[in-house]
Structure 1
């Protein structure tokens, strides 16, 4: 395909092929698969490209709150998600003496006006639930036909202009489309390529022209199936989440029980200036077990709360965990200001990397996918660049405020297990926060519950109504363009 670099060339719908725009999605992570699963419900053509040859079952537990339940119900996968996940009634915060210091609940009981484990879904229409990250990934992978996903496709370059977009892969293959979605993670190759061009054109804000900042590294893993004799907490019918704050060490660690009788675990190390330099070599590393062994040895003796009289350590969990389920990763944090350019748009970690302390990274990637899909679906047939950029701007405008709120919440929740005076104050405030403030914070956090404009809306009852969603008004073209020119449809 010859890519015309002119963005604003004369476009005559009378002579152009009338079709829906083709979407090229780079990245077969959770965000990319969510967008693929959504587009599978439309007549919009799409392809997904993943640089890895195979997707490894990495990661620890992942929490999804009520804000993604409507989307999952629309996709027809919510019941399956519920069957493989645990309700998270509360997060317990403990110390190295295996004592629970306090806990904060995810739920509010209207009858008692207190947060409790009863009436879990009354406010927002769904529970907060946790499952092993690989299980969630497998669920979304099943929603996308295998022929739509192309593995071992490392993107070397992209060219975009008035006529479309072309991507070139390291194996010599090329693919054409109308829209390119960068869903390829914190070190997004698509973002880097886009930013290079925007920088040449002097359109990139200086705040985006800096490396991703990071202050922590994280070791994660998941055990083999265990019994309540091994871990008494596994006997509970709800997820047991325990966070321990190190007393004289720059670490905090978490354990989560799953419906598969496994224990997911993670250890966060908070870096100072010197340790940041030592860990900088991992800045561009992929998730994987290769860098994990040294950190495993550092944390083996850390105590965990296993329930009953069991006095176990992180080392026990490591010994119970298959090596391929253990990995080390940098935890970068940044909300980029630039999300699109010409026919390229970013989503998920590629445009906002959140610390996983708040469990908001995957949730916001799924929100991105829903909102972006609404605006793509509303594009006219064979859209020009101006129409595409207008849709992208609407997507960014709708999402950016919610992402910034999630970023601030993640910062606060990270402080729950961090070191220093500020984290101590945060823990004190969380422990002593009045019930009405807890409810107000929860309502603000969980009111963003985006849905798809082109599928039947989820009408599950909830006391707290969802926030206004502009993209629900973005509708697909009413009819195809044939021989007569039709004006562009606004989005």
Structure 2
């Protein structure tokens, strides 16, 4: 495709999915712009898990070494108790052998900074709150709160669980009686959590930081609705999450009856101060210590929504990441699936014919959903399996029994279900993959054949 024939992509949301798509479109020399409602991206959040299935894209884009510089490998999820002992471990140690790359824990601010370095600044637009999005047969248009507008050929909603783009798209589909009833229901959640990350610590205060592997740990507080997780990072910080199971399903509409004001995080901090923490040494560390070691403005209280939407696209508008599937963080699959979405969307955009029509675009977005929806549903179910570890129901006991007694063959089968699908970027060279278990089929790699045949046809004309 010539430069003038390539579609212009408008991406709303500068989270990991939107930024990953920006990196890939830049590599493909496809014009794009990213619009983010926040004026600045705050270093909020805890740590993220990246498994072997995301290493492929990092290697293809030439950023894997930079990724390794901020990442700490991990090999097991440890499940402990308030007596400061480990009850059992869920083994991930064969990940590199089976799939060609290790699993890593990365502080959320660090991975966001890495992605931002590889998106040209002239394509980033901060402080751009969308008030209206619309599409026609010819293109898409955004209107922002500051009165400015943007026009393009394709609109990508990568703006999170409460996506403005999804909500406006669904409102239009509902008016046209084309929205599935389930997609019109409120986004549900049954747990909330307090998240933060300490400043860099001296390993004498938290000895686990000196270990080569990240210590990924969940501690169950029996007889209460609380469980909390810790992740040691390469920056010598401890990323932490204190979760509360609500015992009922809620939605954002219910929040008017809850405490969500500025003091909500502080109240939850006080409630969890005495929770025992396993630090890897003799010093008796508590959640209160981790809270005191964390800058107050970087501690937040959030909801953990869970839902897979069925409507991912319409015409020139497409959704990715949390905007179309919000997965429990228990399985560590949220960021991974956002990146997989970005790869698949980028591949099909690359395959589009010159000056694509609305029908061309919708046809390829249907292929995107066809590939990704089954994988997302698998990840959703897998995350629910890990969520049962702290479910406060009889399933917690069942999960503990299964993980404690899992034979090697079953562990490998579990890992394969999570990481055999390792999507590649169609327009970049294949990376080396030394994994014993080869990547599962990836339909969007058809983009290579489609573009090659189109180019051959043009050269023969």
TM-score using structure 1 length: 0.89
The CA deviation at 1:273 is 3.6
The CA deviation at 1:367 is 0.2
The CA deviation at 1:253 is 0.3
Structure 2 unaligned segments of length 5 or more: list them: none
Match of 1:230 among 197, 205, 208: 205
The alignment status of 1:61 with 2:47, answered yes or no, reads yes
The CA deviation at 1:289 is 7.3
Q: 2:124 & 2:397 partners in 1: Cα distance? A: 46
The CA deviation at 1:280 is 2.0
Q: Give yes or no for contact 1:289–1:325 (8 Å, CA) kept in 2.
A: no
Could you tell me which residue of structure 2 aligns to residue 4 of structure 1? none
Superposed, 1:67-216 pairs within 5 Å as 67-108=53-94, 120-216=95-191
3-state secondary structure, aligned to 2:109: helix
Q: Give yes or no for contact 1:187–1:284 (8 Å, CA) kept in 2.
A: no
3-state secondary structure, aligned to 1:416: helix
The alignment status of 1:299 with 2:276, answered yes or no, reads no
Q: Give yes or no for contact 2:88–2:403 (8 Å, CA) kept in 1.
A: no
Q: 1:209 & 1:456 partners in 2: Cα distance? A: 41
The alignment status of 1:29 with 2:15, answered yes or no, reads yes
Q: Give yes or no for contact 2:134–2:142 (8 Å, CA) kept in 1.
A: yes
Q: 2:249 & 2:68 partners in 1: Cα distance? A: 44
The CA deviation at 1:107 is 2.2
3-state secondary structure, aligned to 1:474: helix
Could you tell me which residue of structure 2 aligns to residue 444 of structure 1? 417
Q: Give yes or no for contact 1:251–1:418 (8 Å, CA) kept in 2.
A: no
Q: How many residues end up aligned between the 2 structures?
A: 456
TM-score using structure 2 length: 0.95
Could you tell me which residue of structure 2 aligns to residue 43 of structure 1? 29
The alignment status of 1:219 with 2:194, answered yes or no, reads yes
Q: 2:173 & 2:77 partners in 1: Cα distance? A: 43
The CA deviation at 1:435 is 1.5
The CA deviation at 1:238 is 1.1
More helix as a share of residues: 2
Structure 1 unaligned segments of length 5 or more: list them: 1-16, 109-119
Superposed, 1:400-415 pairs within 5 Å as 400-415=373-388
Superposed, 1:245-324 pairs within 5 Å as 245-273=220-248, 280-281=255-256, 291-324=264-297
Q: 2:389 & 2:239 partners in 1: Cα distance? A: 19
390 and 249 in structure 1: CA distance in 2 versus 1, 3 angstrom threshold: same
Q: Give yes or no for contact 1:301–1:313 (8 Å, CA) kept in 2.
A: yes
230 and 237 in structure 1: CA distance in 2 versus 1, 3 angstrom threshold: same
Deviation per residue, 1:318-367 (Å, 9 max, x gap): 00001122111110000000000111000000000001111100000000
Q: 2:186 & 2:249 partners in 1: Cα distance? A: 18
3-state secondary structure, aligned to 2:110: helix
Q: 2:452 & 2:397 partners in 1: Cα distance? A: 57
Q: 2:453 & 2:99 partners in 1: Cα distance? A: 36
User: Which stretch shifts more, 293-302 or 401-410?
Assistant: 293-302
281 and 464 in structure 1: CA distance in 2 versus 1, 3 angstrom threshold: farther
Q: Give yes or no for contact 2:188–2:249 (8 Å, CA) kept in 1.
A: no
- After superposition, the CA RMSD in angstroms is 2.4
The alignment status of 1:368 with 2:354, answered yes or no, reads no
Deviation per residue, 1:245-302 (Å, 9 max, x gap): 11121010011111111111001100024998997249998xx976421111111111
